[in-house]
Amino acid sequence: MTTSIIAGASGLVGTKILQQLCAQKKKVIALSRRPLANLPSHANEFVIDFDELIKDGILPECDHVFICLGTTIKIAGSQEQFRQVDFEYGLGIAKKASAAGAKTISLISSIGADSSSKNFYLKTKGELEEAIQKLGFTSVNIFRPSFLIGNGGRPRTMLEHAVMKIAKIMDVFFIGSTRKYKSVDAALLAKTMISKKHAKPGINYYFFDDLVK
């Protein structure tokens, strides 16, 4: 049985992946800064300090890793702290997973990710994509969702809940080539990421129309 590691297991999408994998009775290891509440009974938990792990730590043996780490510049407090979470930690976990035997990696990136972008957020996402592609994984699955909606992860503010509702309303205007900008339900993204665990070798990109209904 393959073993999957989830980096960001307490986040919006990470929690969904954890729940769905455990429901399928798959072997899964949840990485977290602190013990997770409501951890599924047969899930394994690996509580870490990200800085210490990346410096000289090791991960348990695994076949696959989900990189679901992510924050916002507002929550992080600065561009530097945002980059630490979204780039340094993401890349560091990917390297450790590769060393632990992982052959496949699934990364949550963003629509518009581009290492040459003038937008700091999209530039950082693009740089992480490119850095991970150089690590030698047999399969690299990159998911580029637009605005994520759903419950789970950290508590959402009233404003964030309002924005989610507006996003669903705006979805009707995204047709044709702009469909990839439609909001994405976190549970559906998690389901799709799990379904693509055994994708073909190489670099595989997934957008809104690739979601598993």
DSSP 42: T
Q: How far apart are CA 187 and CA 193, in angstroms?
A: 10
Going by pLDDT thresholds of 50, 70 and 90, the confidence category of residue 162 is: low
Sequence-distant (≥ 6) Cβ neighbours of residue 65 within 8 angstroms: 4, 5, 6, 7, 93, 94, 97, 102, 104, 105, 106
Q: How far apart are CA 16 and CA 9, in angstroms?
A: 8
User: For residue 6, what are the CA distances in angstroms to 13, 32, 44, 64, 147?
Assistant: 10, 9, 10, 9, 21
> How do 64-67 and 148-149 pair as beta strands?
unpaired
Q: Is the dihedral of CA 195, 108, 42, 151 positive or negative?
A: negative
- Asked if 4 and 28 touch (Cβ cutoff 8 Å), the reply is yes
pLDDT at 173 over 80: no
Confidence at residue 18, expressed as pLDDT on a 0 to 100 scale: 95
- Output the average pLDDT for the chain: 90
- Sequence ranges of the domains in the chain: 3-205
Reported as a single tens digit per residue, the pLDDT across 91-104 is 999 999 999 999 99
> How do 3-7 and 64-67 pair as beta strands?
parallel
pLDDT at 155 over 60: no
Reported as a single tens digit per residue, the pLDDT across 20-52 is 999 999 999 999 888 888 888 788 999 999 999
What does the pLDDT average to over 195-209?
A: 93
What does the pLDDT average to over 145-149?
A: 87
What does the pLDDT average to over 57-77?
A: 91
| Residue 32 tokens, joined | 């977290």
CATH number for the domain formed by residue range(s) 3-205? 3.40.50.720
Going by pLDDT thresholds of 50, 70 and 90, the confidence category of residue 158 is: low
